[in-house]
Chains A and B, each alone.
Chain A
Amino acid sequence: MSARDLNRLERLLGGILLAGVALSATALIAGLLLMAMGSPGAGFALTTGLVLLMCIPAARILASFGDAVVRRDGLLAAATAFVSLVLLWQFLKTLQ
């Protein structure tokens, strides 16, 4: 992986992680505030925040997979495809 490719991937993954954490933290803060006020919407906000948080690693792996495919990096594409399938399988089990 060239230094330029690595820099681009680092920026992409850093952005995904940061956006995910910010969105999730906002929902969780809102949920706790609503709970303190006794609002019935607290549960929804808290659950949304937790689900968003759990989705961050999956989003990072999917982005890494896309990047590896574009760069034709066979080792990383195979590794991230495998991990994506495992996470997808777990996620689908959760939805059942």
Chain B
Amino acid sequence: MNFGSELLTFAVGAFAGGLGALLGIGGGVILIPFLNIALGLTFNQSSGISLITIIATSSAASAAKGRMQLVNLRLGMVLEVFTTSGGVIGLWLFGKTDSHTVRIAFAWTLVAIAMIMLSRISKRNVLDPTAEIGQLGGRYFDKETGGEVAYRLKRAPVAFVMSFLAGVVSNFGIGGGILKVPALNAWCGVPIRAAAATSSLMLGATAFVVATDRFRHGEIIPELAAAAVLGVLGGTQVGVWAQHRFHPKTHKLVMVALLLSVAALYFSGVGKR
């Protein structure tokens, strides 16, 4: 492996970081196929590097100016109980389950979520700013409308179950935002921007569980991980900047396209190494 691999990883990391920060999904869906297919790393090595970059995206995106106001800290911290539990259970489960079955089930789940998002593409989960938001709801200033947005968490058990599942699938190296963001938005009443920002902050803790396990097994190649992290950190700043410039409907359409693309990748059996 020459230094060209690091430069290429840096560039792809920048793209993945931008999209990851924009959508609150971590960017692993782009990085894993690249490392796995283009660079020929094993799936575990690719997902290990991806999880390291997810921690970087999560930390940098959440620390960015103005981003923390979108994060629902209370909701995020409660949901982290379920994502980290899911991450630990997933570590055990993935060691015992036939990987083909898991991949196909995961791909169908993504298709189902994409369909639900499409059916609710024009619905916005915002209440009157003076409305009671409950224990896990939130408020933030919306630059697009120039006013305060309030929302209440609905169907909390759904948010808990989806967060647990997001933790389980973080063992794929994808962080789990791809499950949490659509679920929080479509089923639980959280506006897409708040869902993405809250998910983004939570990704770090979920990724920690699996990344330390990969690190322990020597499955993280330090120089490629460093290049990917530095690329992701640059891309994240662009993603955070772009987030306020996208209409929620565009945001949802990009998410649907990404969900279906990832599902197609898993259906096609890519990355079996």
Residue B222 CB within 8 A of the other chain: yes
Residue interface bits A3-39, CB-to-B below 8 A is 1, else 0 = 0001001100110011011001100110110011000
Residue interface bits B1-38, CB-to-A below 8 A is 1, else 0 = 00100100000000000000000000000000000000
Q: Chain B residues with Cβ under 8 A from A50's Cβ?
A: 52, 215, 220, 222, 225-226, 229
Cα A61 to Cα B209 with chains together (Å)? 13
Name B226's closest neighbour in chain A (CB-CB). A28
Residue B62 CB within 8 A of the other chain: yes
> A21-B60, A60-B204, A75-B135 known; A54 and B215 CB under 8 Å?
yes
Name B88's closest neighbour in chain A (CB-CB). A86
**Binding site of A, secondary structure by majority: helix, strand, loop or mixed?**
helix
Cα A17 to Cα B69 with chains together (Å)? 15
Contacting pair B233 A25 (CB below 8 A): yes
Contacting pair A9 B81 (CB below 8 A): no
Q: Chain A residues with Cβ under 8 A from B63's Cβ?
A: 14, 17-18, 21
Contacting pair A21 B80 (CB below 8 A): no
Size bracket, chain B contacts: 35 or more
Stretch at the interface among B70-78, B124-132, B238-246: B70-78
Interface residues in A, total, Cβ within 8 A: 45
Contacting pair A6 B62 (CB below 8 A): no
Q: How far is the CB of A84 from chain B (nearest CB, A)?
A: 10
Q: How far is the CB of B208 from chain A (nearest CB, A)?
A: 5
> A32-B227, A53-B55, A60-B204 known; A76 and B209 CB under 8 Å?
no
**Binding site of B, secondary structure by majority: helix, strand, loop or mixed?**
helix
Q: Chain A residues with Cβ under 8 A from B220's Cβ?
A: 50
Q: Chain B residues with Cβ under 8 A from A29's Cβ?
A: 230
Question: Contact partner of B213 among A21, A24, A90, CB < 8 A?
Answer: A90
Cα A60 to Cα B85 with chains together (Å)? 18
Q: How far is the CB of A26 from chain B (nearest CB, A)?
A: 11
Residue B223 CB within 8 A of the other chain: yes
Residues on A close to B: CB < 8 A?
1, 6, 9-10, 13-14, 17-18, 20-21, 24-25, 28-29, 31-32, 35-36, 42-43, 46-47, 49-50, 53-54, 56-58, 60-61, 64, 75-76, 79-80, 82-83, 86-87, 90-91, 93-94, 96
